Amino acid sequence: MPDLSNFTKPLEWEVTHSASQVPIAVIRKLKLGPGQVLYFRAVTWNADVRKRELIGYWGSLAEATQNVYGLYERKLPPQKLASSGSTWREPLPLTKPKAPPAG
């Protein structure tokens, strides 16, 4: 199979949340370092890509998404975390970001 790395683009997801009318983050699948290690990089969302800020790198899409939601929900007023039955819930737990590749 031919090397398609020069012709394909990384996969990218816009993360949405019910408390926001615009996306809250963008997660991109990347392969980094000499060993082409898989990473999922999360950045804040902004229509101007130059204004996006790094949130972190994680080893899976699920973990990156969990951390994006967890960080976003910690900035919300508590009433935004109430369910329809008026019960409160905690923001999603945070996990440690993945270390950068060696070399």
Three-state SS letters, the chain: CCCCCCCCCCCEEEECCCCCCCCCEEEEEEEECCCCEEEEEEEECCCCHHHCCEEEEECCHHHHHHHHHHHHHHCCCHHHHECCCCCECCCCCCCCCCCCCCC
pLDDT for 85: 63
Residue 17 placed within a domain: yes
pLDDT for 95: 94
Asked whether residue 82 carries a pLDDT value surpassing 70, the answer given is: no
Domain count, the chain: 1
pLDDT for 73: 92
Residue 28 placed within a domain: yes
Residue 90 placed within a domain: no
Q: Which domain holds residue 31?
A: 12-81
Residue 52 placed within a domain: yes
Residue 23 placed within a domain: yes
pLDDT for 42: 97
Residue 60 placed within a domain: yes
pLDDT for 24: 98
18-22, 68-72, 82-86, 90-94: which range is least confident on average?
A: 82-86
Question: Full-prediction pTM beyond 0.85?
Answer: no
Asked whether residue 55 carries a pLDDT value surpassing 90, the answer given is: yes
pLDDT for 9: 59
